[in-house]
Chain A
């Protein structure tokens, strides 16, 4: 099953989330968009850590994963990404 949502961050950029899920867990999570983040590899580590997480915990895990020390996100934030993932799972 796939969940998708595009969210325009107020005063910021667009976040496009795609969650592939199987049996209530995320098998793959993609957080795309026209925001900025560096180091890019750290962002992708955070993204990869969301695979295998239960859909109900995805937002909370994302808040933690995208707030990791050393990761700078510009034009969006961990809270916006978490909110987009939660919205996608809720269906809006």
Chain B
């Protein structure tokens, strides 16, 4: 089985979420092959999980003042501040080797590629149920998955650098008094490739390592007897057009973003 490999570079949050949904629709319709995509965010953006309340989780005024976007994802999970990171998405038909019915197992299988890629960068990471990857007990990657139209969409982050003060200036906190504790908690629980390796780690370098890691992990996994090869490609015209429509429509629409 071949998986299309995309690097769509930087885009605003509404476009990034539009592209993931456009790929999901195209794979579900059989118009595009299963896809592994890498991307990043410009401007930085807070995304919230499908079941979260934007009003409860995000300080929209602070986001506006800082020029940071705010978008609801198609997937569940928690609020994420996307800035210095590599983001990936995987879209594959359900029932295939990467998307067994057991949700935890499918997280494990998709994340095996991230672990292999991180190892190539010199980072010994481990899958941390239910949906994280950790190094020495500290989270370096969060992942979120949904299943729609017969396909699995999993997207997630690998942190290149982390700034808890900035993150909590954009998220709602119960009180100013608690903010300090939350920031200290995040510093204790969250890390980044930069912090682990003690140097600046770039987007391109990380994407190269992760793509190779996905290819290696998926080729040799005993649970993937067919073997999977990555084939560099591009979005189809129709996917690009649908992504633009979704960015200007659903993912910029208060009826979607503020629905909870």
Contacts and interface: CB of A to CB of B under 8 A. Distances in A.
Nearest to B78: A34
A33 interface: yes
Interface residues of A, number: 20
Given A30-B260, A36-B103, A36-B146, A75 B76 contact: yes
A32 B53 contact: yes
B103 A34 contact: no
Contact of B130 (A12, A30, A31, A39): A12
Main secondary structure of the interface of B (DSSP, over half): loop
B75 A36 contact: yes
Interface size class of B (residues with CB under 8 A): 20 to 34
Interface in B140-160: 144-148
B51 A32 contact: yes
Contacts of B144: 36
Contacts of A16: 53, 56
B50 interface: yes
A14 to B, nearest CB: 8
Contacts of B9: none
B49 interface: yes
B52 A72 contact: no
Nearest to B147: A38
Most buried by A among B76, B77, B79: B76
* Chain B CB within 10 A, most for which of A11, A31, A36: A36
Given A30-B53, A32-B53, A72-B103, A38 B260 contact: no
Contacts of B76: 34-37, 40, 74-75
A17 to B, nearest CB: 11
15 contacts: A13-B130, A16-B56, A30-B260, A32-B260, A34-B52, A35-B49, A35-B51, A36-B75, A37-B51, A40-B146, A43-B51, A74-B76, A74-B103, A74-B104, A75-B130
Interface of B: 49-53, 56, 75-79, 103-104, 130-131, 144-148, 260
Interface of A: 11-14, 16, 30-40, 43, 72, 74-75
| 4 tightest A-B CB contacts, nearest first | A36-B76, A34-B78, A74-B103, A32-B53
